[in-house]
Structure 1
Amino acid sequence: MYLDREEALGYLGYGKQKLDGDLEARFAALALECEKTLSPAYSWAAFAVERIVPDGECPGVDLAGTSARLVGESMAAHMKGACGVAVLSCTAGMDSERAIARYQATSPTDALFYNACAAALVEACANRVEAEVVLRANEVGLHTNWRFSPGYGDAPLSMQPDLLCALGAPGRLAVTCTDSFLLVPSKSITAVVGLFEPGVCATGVRRSCTTCSLGQVCMIRKQGRICHG
């Protein structure tokens, strides 16, 4: 799996700025190290929507067959009209944590570079998983919106444990939560993607392949098809 170097540099605060020669070489070496030594893992599953509560005291989305609840008005709005929800999680694994700790002890600069590269790598994994969800949905006549993670809008991080539990992620991926709902390993992601019946207008639908973040990993485009109208 390959990480987006520009995205990693963006995490470091570099826009169109160039790293100088020595820093550029070190960054390139650490990016390559991430790609060669880390093996991101993932899991996802689809659940039917039991009900959507758009507002009031407890807005959110209840998923059938699980105790997981997608909390918040922004989450309810994102899933408006959805017949199902795909829950996903991916992680760069504990090897990333050990490497970050090692570089923090030897070189703060290398630690920053490695941290950003590992974050970009797990983001690449999330893109690939989302692309898989889009493909599977398309194969059964559904369409999707884009992934939405706890922490976006008013969706609280406190839903993380239930999402992990619904996927069996602690056992399958060795991904857990701290008491403050941060993921461990830190280079991990949870997210949800809405699944919609034909003809249902969804929030956050991809309108153009040219602006879609999944362009590099889209399996539908490789088949000469598109997932949007």
Structure 2
Amino acid sequence: MVRPKPQSVDRATALRYMGAAGWQPDAASTALLDNAEQQLMKTATPRAVWRRLPGTVLPLQNCGHDLERHLKGCDEVLVMTATLGSEVDTLLRRMELTDIALAATTDAMASVLLEQVCDALEEELRAELLKSGRYLTGRFAPGYGDCPLELNDEICLAADSVRGCGVAVTGQHLLAPRKSTTALLGIADHPVTGTLAGCSTCHLRETCVFRKKGTTCFSQK
């Protein structure tokens, strides 16, 4: 299903993704951001597919303690897959050959745009479930905390992502197109928020740029 684009990309978050949190861009950098956003918004075709399932359908027994804590108290799950489309991959590859600064900027902005698309969809689903007295956690993606990337295979299969939004899983359990994501959200009959994964189980804890600065990725949001 095609999803609407936001009116603009959240530049503050894009700058954070580029390691420039709180920086005020000069004229040249603003022009670079403008160019990246213009080309990205013209190229991206956001699509998403989702499905509501009983909590016992997916094989979650060996998917880590972080996901288990996130889904605690939930008797259903919602699987989601979203993408900006293969055209964005083509755009980024072309930029990487011609203008590396523009490519890096567009890449960061594409990640933010995908997150904004997912945020909007999540809020729609949350409001719809609330009408029937059901509550939704936030999103939890494979690869986060101690949750294995292999779960991408199961989520995409359950959501029928290839037919639903054109997202496939590679042999390394990564997603194609590149600017795509999956997520699991818990559903319960009482208010639930889920639980953020901690640094102790994160796959990137040894190289994390946020930890080197004495902070965390979730404290930046």
TM-score, normalisation: structure 1: 0.78
The AA in structure 2 aligned to 1:130 is: E
**What residue number does 2:194 align with?**
203
Matches of 2:184 and 2:162 in 1, distance apart? 17
Q: Does 1:188 align with 2:180?
A: yes
Which stretch shifts more, 69-78 or 104-113?
69-78
- Relative distance call for 1:94 and 1:144 in structure 2 (3 A) is same
**What residue number does 1:91 align with?**
83
Shift of the alpha carbon at 1:104? 0.5
**What residue number does 1:145 align with?**
137
**What residue number does 1:176 align with?**
168
Write out per-residue CA displacement over residues 63-107 of structure 1, whole angstroms, 9 at most, x where no aligned residue.
Answer: 2xxxx3232211111111101011101000001100000101101
Which stretch shifts more, 136-145 or 91-100?
136-145
Write out per-residue CA displacement over residues 22-54 of structure 1, whole angstroms, 9 at most, x where no aligned residue.
Answer: 12111112112222331210011110112xxxx
Matches of 1:115 and 1:69 in 2, distance apart? 33
SS of residue in 2 equivalent to 1:82: coil
The AA in structure 2 aligned to 1:116 is: A
TM-score, normalisation: structure 2: 0.80
Shift of the alpha carbon at 1:204? 4.0
SS of residue in 2 equivalent to 1:150: coil
Long gaps (5+) in structure 1:
51-62, 206-212, 214-229
* Alignment counterpart, residue 128 of structure 1, candidates 116, 120, 127: 120
Long gaps (5+) in structure 2:
197-220
Contact 1:39 1:93 in 2 (8 A): yes
SS of residue in 2 equivalent to 1:203: coil
Which stretch shifts more, 87-96 or 34-43?
34-43
- Relative distance call for 1:157 and 1:83 in structure 2 (3 A) is same
Q: Which structure has more strand as a fraction of its residues?
A: 1
Write out per-residue CA displacement over residues 157-206 of structure 1, whole angstroms, 9 at most, x where no aligned residue.
Answer: 011011001111012211112221111111111001110113x665349x
**What residue number does 1:103 align with?**
95
Which stretch shifts more, 153-162 or 21-30?
21-30
Q: Runs of 4 or more off by more than 3 Å in structure 1?
A: 200-205
Question: What is the RMSD of the two structures over their aligned residues, measured on CA atoms?
Answer: 1.9
Matches of 1:112 and 1:128 in 2, distance apart? 25
* Alignment counterpart, residue 64 of structure 2, candidates 59, 62, 72: 72
Matches of 1:76 and 1:172 in 2, distance apart? 27
Matches of 1:157 and 1:79 in 2, distance apart? 17
Contact 1:79 1:202 in 2 (8 A): no
SS of residue in 2 equivalent to 1:80: coil
* Alignment counterpart, residue 21 of structure 2, candidates 15, 23, 40: 15
**What residue number does 2:11 align with?**
5
Matches of 1:26 and 1:142 in 2, distance apart? 44
The AA in structure 2 aligned to 1:26 is: L
**What residue number does 2:208 align with?**
none
User: What percentage of residue pairs aligned between the two structures are identical?
Assistant: 27
